[in-house]
């Protein structure tokens, strides 16, 4: 980033008022009567109603449309453990995306905690304020335990976007890429470089979609996670397989798919050349991919490629998922976001990419044409149809899987 762009970023966050979000008043507040209804004595009536029936909070407060975006600052972007407070600009940014794309209100919460137990206790104690919890930028392996225990403790959706949001977009893009490449997920050899939150969650979701565990190669800094290794934590151990592959180079030989959620320039042209015919490469390290698209396309003319960057085709961008996943979950008052809802989101994104692209999307991206193919395997974030496709699919899955307190909403498109 240039010096000028760095200053522009600082100015954007500082001017004309510090930060990116604020609080809006949603009711009239112009007269003495308004004030008496908003606060004392009128406010006592919803207080009494909620004390008598806690479900009334969804009727009389913002709870049902309010999500907490919560971090401990241990894994902020690619900057690492910068601390809770330094993570606040990112959490405010997440709030902007929730509001812009799904009209969901957000409080960002930065927790100074020394242990997962402290973090879990903090979130548990404040959870009644919210309709859902979005965990963000929490380092692995603690993120797995934190999410698991909060899901068990709370009766509202808890969703770690760095795990499941990333996994859902990867899976949607990959299913479409495999279709175009004439391959099936059930038989594809899939290599994933990076065994943190995104890598492990992606492999779990791909298994739910039909991938075979013996065809997966999950790789960390010590190489392929295999049965012969010792000292693996429980999350990596679940992907330890019997294989002679030890290094990334070994794993890439005859692989159909490479997914990188690791670091820049870790895949060589020789590794790419050793992959199977018609490979799919998701090099998602940001801002510098595991292999640059320019180098990749110079080596293989038969590949489909995605990155995490907006200046290349097929950007794997979590904003395609989390706002609409929470929208669907909140609208049926789901008590969790389960595997059925995640798979539904994947299938909805896959389906939308097959549809003709509206003119307003073409204008937003300043292109004359865009259609399902090697350079368009996942929808664009500015596509307004994401709400109809993803939110409705998630809501329907919540209802059908028995985790929703409300029926499928009347204002949604007809359920499939």
What Rg do the C-alpha atoms of the chain give, in angstroms? 22
Interacting residues of 230 by C-beta distance below 8 A, sequence separation 6+? none
Residue at token pair 């295999």: 226
Q: How far is the C-alpha of 280 from the C-alpha of 267, rounded, in Å?
A: 13
Q: Is 39 a catalytic residue?
A: yes
Q: How far is the C-alpha of 412 from the C-alpha of 331, rounded, in Å?
A: 10
- Which residue of the set 6, 54, 88, 94 is catalytic? 94
For residue 316, the cross-strand partners are: none
**Are 278 and 255 in contact, with CB atoms under 8 Å apart?**
no
Q: Is 269 a catalytic residue?
A: no
- Which residue of the set 12, 27, 39, 59 is catalytic? 39
Q: How far is the C-alpha of 242 from the C-alpha of 236, rounded, in Å?
A: 14
Query: Which tokens sit at 119?
Result: 């973090």
Q: How far is the C-alpha of 222 from the C-alpha of 139, rounded, in Å?
A: 18
How far CA 197 is from CA of 140, 156, 161, 325, in Å, comes to 6, 21, 9, 19
Q: How far is the C-alpha of 244 from the C-alpha of 323, rounded, in Å?
A: 42
Query: Which tokens sit at 167?
Result: 């996994």
Q: How far is the C-alpha of 234 from the C-alpha of 306, rounded, in Å?
A: 30
Tell me which residues are annotated as active site.
39, 94
């Amino acid at each position: 980033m240039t010096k000028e762009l760095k200053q522009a970023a600082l100015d954007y966050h500082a001017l004309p008022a510090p930060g990116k979000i604020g609080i809006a008043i949603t009711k009239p507040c112009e007269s003495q009567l308004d004030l008496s209804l908003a606060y004392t004595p009128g406010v006592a009536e919803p207080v009494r109603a909620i004390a008598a029936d806690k479900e009334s909070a969804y009727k009389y407060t913002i709870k049902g449309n309010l999500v907490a975006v919560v971090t401990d600052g241990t894994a902020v972007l690619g900057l690492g453990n910068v601390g809770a407070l330094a993570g606040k600009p990112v959490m405010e940014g997440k709030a902007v995306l929730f509001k812009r794309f799904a009209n969901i209100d957000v409080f960002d919460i930065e927790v100074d905690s020394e242990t997962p137990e402290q973090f879990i206790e903090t979130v548990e104690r404040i959870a009644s304020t919210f309709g859902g919890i979005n965990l963000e930028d929490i380092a692995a392996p603690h993120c797995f335990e934190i999410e698991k225990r909060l899901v068990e403790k709370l009766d509202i959706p808890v969703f770690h976007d760095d795990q499941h949001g990333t996994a859902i977009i990867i899976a949607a893009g990959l299913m479409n890429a495999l279709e175009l490449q004439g391959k099936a997920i059930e038989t594809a050899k899939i290599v994933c470089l990076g065994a943190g939150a995104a890598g492990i969650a992606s492999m779990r979701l791909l298994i739910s979609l039909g991938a075979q565990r013996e065809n997966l190669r999950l790789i960390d800094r010590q190489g392929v996670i295999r049965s012969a290794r010792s000292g693996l934590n429980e999350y990596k151990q679940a992907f330890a397989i019997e294989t002679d592959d030890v290094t990334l180079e070994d794993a890439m030989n005859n692989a159909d798919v490479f997914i990188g959620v690791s670091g820049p320039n870790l895949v060589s042209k020789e590794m790419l050349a050793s992959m199977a015919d018609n490979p799919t490469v998701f090099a998602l390290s940001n801002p510098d991919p595991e292999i640059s698209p320019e180098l990749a396309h110079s080596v293989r003319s038969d590949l489909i490629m995605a990155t995490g960057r907006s200046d290349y085709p097929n950007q794997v961008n979590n904003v395609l998922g989390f706002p609409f996943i929470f929208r669907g979950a909140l609208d049926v008052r789901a008590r969790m976001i389960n595997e059925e809802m995640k798979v539904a989101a994947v299938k909805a994104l896959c389906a939308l990419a097959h549809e003709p692209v509206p003119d307003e999307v073409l204008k937003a991206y300043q292109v004359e044409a865009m259609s399902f193919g090697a350079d368009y395997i996942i929808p664009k974030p500015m596509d307004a149809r994401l709400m109809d496709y993803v939110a409705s699919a998630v809501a329907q899955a919540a209802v059908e899987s028995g985790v929703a307190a409300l029926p499928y909403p009347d204002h949604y498109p007809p359920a499939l």
